[in-house]
C-alpha cells in the first residue's frame, strides 16, 4: 500500500526531537521525489547501544521511501583532537561498517538499500578543499567554535583541526548531494550554522532531522569516550546485566534516568519495528507490568509502582535480546575479530622498574661497603734456585 506525502512526512518526523526547515522535505514529497538523507558518524571510539536510536530512525526513513546515505567520517575522526590516529583510521572504518550493518540488521533493516560513503573518498578532492578554504575565509573563529561546541573536544589552546571540523560537516551536505541530514540534539548548533553558511557559497540550505539525546548509564550524555556511561554493542550478556545493575537509576526520578531513556528511545521502538510494541517487566509474587506507552511507564516509575529493582533486569534482558544478533555475528567472524584488534589494540602496559631498596647506612657492614677496597701489596717474587 503506497503512502500519501502527508503519511510519508509523518513517518519521517516520528520520534524526532525537532525538524529544522521541515517545509523543504514537505515540498520534495509533494513533487513525488524521494528525499535523500544522510547520517554521519566519526570513526572514533567503539559504537555503543545509543547507536540504536539512529538505526531505528534510519529504518523509518527507508520505510518512508527515503534514500539514505551513511557517511563514515574518517577525516572528521582525525580532526577531533586526533581521537583516531591515522594509523588506526583504516581499520576503525572497517569496524564501524561491520557494526552499523549489524545494528541495522538486528532491527530488521536490509542494508542493501543503504549507501555507505567514506569521507576521505571525496574530502581530499580539489573542489572540496577549495570550498573549505572559501568557507574558512567567510567564517569567524567564534562561529566555528560555537558550531562545534558540543561535538568537538574543547580545551584551552586547542588545535586548529577542531575549528575545521564544523566546516567539513557543513560542506558534506553539498558534496553528498542530500536534501537533509540526520543527527543528534548535540549537533543542533552545527545544523543551524549549516543553514547560514551554505548560502554564502551559493549552495542551497538543507533540512535537519534531530534525534533526542539518550541519557547515559551514569546520567548525562551517553558517550563512546565515557566507559561508565555506555554499553558496548559487543558486550556479552553478563557484562550488559552488570552495567545496567550498577547504573544510576534513583527511585521515582525520571529525568536523566538512563534506563528509562533506553526503554523510550531503543527498546520500545525496536519492539514496535519487530511487530509487537511492548516492554515487559516481570515481578516476583505479582503480575508482570506490560507497557506499550512510555508515558505510563514514567508515571508508574514516578509513583514507585515500577521500581529500579524490577526495571533494571527487564531492561537488561530486552537489550541483551536485541543485541544478540550483533554479538553472535561477531563471534562467528574471525575477520571481524581481527579488525577489532587492529582498530582498538589493547593498551601496552609498561612494566614497573624494580626499585632498589635503600637499606640505610647504619646497618652492620655498611661502613665497610662504603670504604674503598685498598690494593693489596704485591707478593714478592721468589728467587730462582737455579745457578
In this structure, are strands 114-118 and 279-283 parallel, antiparallel, or unpaired?
A: unpaired
Contact 166, 152 (CB under 8 A): yes
Mark whether 116 and 262 lie in a shared domain.
no
Q: CA separation (Å) from 360 to 278, 328, 370, 376?
A: 72, 60, 11, 28
17 and 145 assigned to the same domain: yes
My answer on whether 77 and 28 are in the same domain is yes
- 134 and 179 in a single domain? The answer is yes
Name the residue among 162, 171, 163 with its Cα closest to residue 131. Answer: 171
117-157 tens-digit pLDDT: 999 999 999 999 999 999 999 999 999 999 988 888 766 67
Residue 329 lies in a domain: yes
User: b/e per residue, 326-336, with b = 16+ CB within 10 A?
Assistant: bbebbeeeeeb
Whether residue 41 is found in the same domain as residue 111 = yes
Is residue 220 domain-resident? Answer: no
What band does 79 get if pLDDT is binned at 50, 70 and 90? confident
pLDDT (tens digit per residue) in 315-369: 999 999 999 999 999 999 999 999 999 999 988 776 766 666 666 666 566 555 5
**Structural domain includes residue 232:** no
The reported pLDDT for the residue numbered 83 is 60
> Helix, strand, coil proportions of the chain in percent (round to 5)?
50, 10, 35
Confidence (pLDDT) at 245: 93
Give CA–CA dist 185/196, Å, rounded.
18
Residue with cell 525537532: 18
Are 72 and 126 within one domain? yes
| pLDDT computed for residue 363 by the predictor | 59
**Judgement on whether residues 261 and 161 belong to the same structural domain of the protein:** no
Helix 334-343 with 308-331: angle, nearest 10 deg:
110
> 180 vs 225, which has greater pLDDT?
180
Domain boundary residue, one of 195, 211, 227: 211
**Rounded to an integer, what distance in angstroms lies between the CA atom of residue 345 and that of residue 338?**
10
Please report, for the domain that includes residue 150, its CATH number.
3.40.50.620
Q: Residues 201, 241: one domain? A: no
Q: Does residue 153 sit within a domain?
A: yes
Domain at 296, CATH number: 1.10.240.10
As a whole number of angstroms, the distance between CA 237 and CA 323 comes to 9
The x, y and z cell numbers of residue 176, run together, are 553528498
194 and 114: one domain?
Answer: yes
Q: Are residues 193 and 324 in the same domain?
A: no
350 domain residue, yes or no: no
Confidence of residue 386 (pLDDT cuts 50, 70, 90): very low
What per-residue confidence (pLDDT) applies to 108?
85
Q: How many domains does the chain have?
A: 2
The per-residue pLDDT for range 32-70, each reduced to its tens digit, is 999 999 999 999 889 999 899 999 999 999 999 999 999
Residues 6+ apart with CB under 8 A from 57: 15, 16, 39, 182, 209, 211
Residue 385: pLDDT band (50, 70, 90) is very low
In this structure, is residue 366 part of a structural domain? no
Q: Which three cell numbers stand for residue 341?
A: 584488534
Q: Please, are residues 88 and 343 in contact by the beta-carbon 8 Å criterion?
A: yes
pLDDT one-digit tens code per residue, 1-14? 589 999 999 999 99
Q: Is the pLDDT of residue 311 over 70?
A: yes
What single DSSP character describes residue 352? Answer: P
Stretch 258-273: mean pLDDT:
93
Please say whether the beta carbons of 132 and 171 come within 8 A. yes
From 143, 176, 211, the end of a domain falls on: 211
Instruction: State the pLDDT at residue 45.
Output: 87
When pLDDT is cut at 50, 70 and 90, the band that residue 86 belongs to is confident
**pLDDT tens-digit series, residues 203-227:** 999 999 999 988 878 765 555 555 5
- The reply to whether 54 falls in a domain is yes
pLDDT at residue number 285: 84
Domain that holds residue 295: 237-343
Find out whether 244 and 271 touch, Cβ atoms under 8 Å: no
Place of cell 554521519: 40
Phi-psi region of 252 (alpha: psi -120 to 50; beta: other; left: phi over 0): left
pTM of the model: 0.83
358 lies in some domain: no
pLDDT band at 87 (very low <50, low <70, confident <90, very high): confident
Q: What is the structure's pLDDT at 302?
A: 97
**Whether residue 278 sits in one domain with residue 184:** no
Q: Looking at the structure, do residues 207 and 250 belong to the same domain, yes or no?
A: no
- List helix spans (H) across the chain: 5-13, 22-31, 51-63, 74-79, 86-106, 120-123, 126-138, 141-147, 161-175, 188-197, 237-246, 258-262, 268-273, 294-302, 308-331, 334-343, 366-370
Please check whether residue 210 is in contact with residue 185, taking contact to mean a CB–CB distance below 8 angstroms: yes
Confidence of residue 107 (pLDDT cuts 50, 70, 90): confident
User: With left for phi above 0 and alpha for psi between -120 and 50, is residue 160 left, alpha or beta?
Assistant: alpha
Amino acid at each position: 500500500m503506497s503512502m500519501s506525502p502527508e503519511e510519508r512526512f509523518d513517518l519521517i518526523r516520528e520520534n524526532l526531537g525537532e525538524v529544522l526547515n521541515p517545509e523543504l522535505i514537505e515540498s520534495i514529497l509533494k513533487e513525488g521525489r524521494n528525499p535523500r538523507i544522510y547520517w554521519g558518524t566519526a570513526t572514533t571510539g567503539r559504537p555503543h547501544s545509543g547507536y540504536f536510536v539512529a538505526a531505528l530512525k534510519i529504518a523509518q526513513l527507508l520505510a518512508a521511501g527515503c534514500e539514505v546515505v551513511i557517511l563514515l567520517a574518517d577525516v572528521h575522526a582525525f580532526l577531533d583532537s586526533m581521537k583516531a590516529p591515522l594509523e588506526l583510521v583504516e581499520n576503525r572504518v572497517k569496524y564501524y561498517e561491520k557494526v552499523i550493518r549489524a545494528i541495522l540488521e538486528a532491527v530488521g533493516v536490509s542494508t542493501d538499500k543503504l549507501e555507505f560513503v567514506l569521507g576521505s573518498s571525496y574530502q581530499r578532492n580539489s573542489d572540496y578543499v577549495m570550498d573549505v578554504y572559501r568557507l574558512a575565509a567567510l567564517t569567524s573563529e567564534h562561529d566555528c567554535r560555537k558550531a562545534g561546541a558540543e561535538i568537538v573536544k574543547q580545551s584551552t589552546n586547542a588545535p586548529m583541526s577542531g575549528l575545521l571540523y564544523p566546516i567539513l560537516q557543513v560542506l558534506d551536505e553539498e558534496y553528498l548531494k542530500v536534501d537533509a541530514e540526520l543527527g543528534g540534539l548535540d549537533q543542533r548548533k552545527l545544523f543551524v550554522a549549516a543553514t547560514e553558511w551554505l548560502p554564502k557559497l551559493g549552495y542551497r540550505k538543507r533540512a535537519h532531522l534531530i534525534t533526542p539525546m539518550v541519557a547515559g548509564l551514569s546520567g548525562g550524555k551517553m558517550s563512546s569516550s565515557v566507559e561508565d556511561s555506555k554499553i558496548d554493542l559487543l558486550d556479552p550478556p553478563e557484562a550488559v546485566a552488570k552495567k545496567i545493575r550498577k547504573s544510576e537509576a534513583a527511585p521515582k526520578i525520571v529525568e536523566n534516568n538512563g534506563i528509562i531513556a533506553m526503554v523510550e528511545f531503543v527498546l520500545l521502538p525496536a519492539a514496535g519495528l519487530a511487530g509487537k510494541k511492548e516492554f515487559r517487566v516481570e515481578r516476583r509474587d505479582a503480575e508482570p507490568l506490560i507497557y506499550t506507552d512510555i508515558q505510563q511507564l514514567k508515571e508508574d516509575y514516578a509513583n514507585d509502582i515500577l521500581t529500579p529493582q524490577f526495571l533494571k533486569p527487564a531492561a537488561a534482558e530486552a537489550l541483551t535480546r536485541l543485541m544478540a544478533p550483533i554479538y553472535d555475528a561477531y563471534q562467528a567472524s574471525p575477520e571481524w575479530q581481527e579488525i577489532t584488534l587492529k582498530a582498538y589494540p589493547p593498551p601496552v602496559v609498561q612494566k614497573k622498574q624494580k626499585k632498589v631498596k635503600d637499606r640505610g647506612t647504619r646497618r652492620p657492614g655498611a661502613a665497610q661497603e662504603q670504604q674503598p677496597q685498598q690494593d693489596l701489596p704485591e707478593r714478592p717474587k721468589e728467587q730462582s734456585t737455579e745457578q
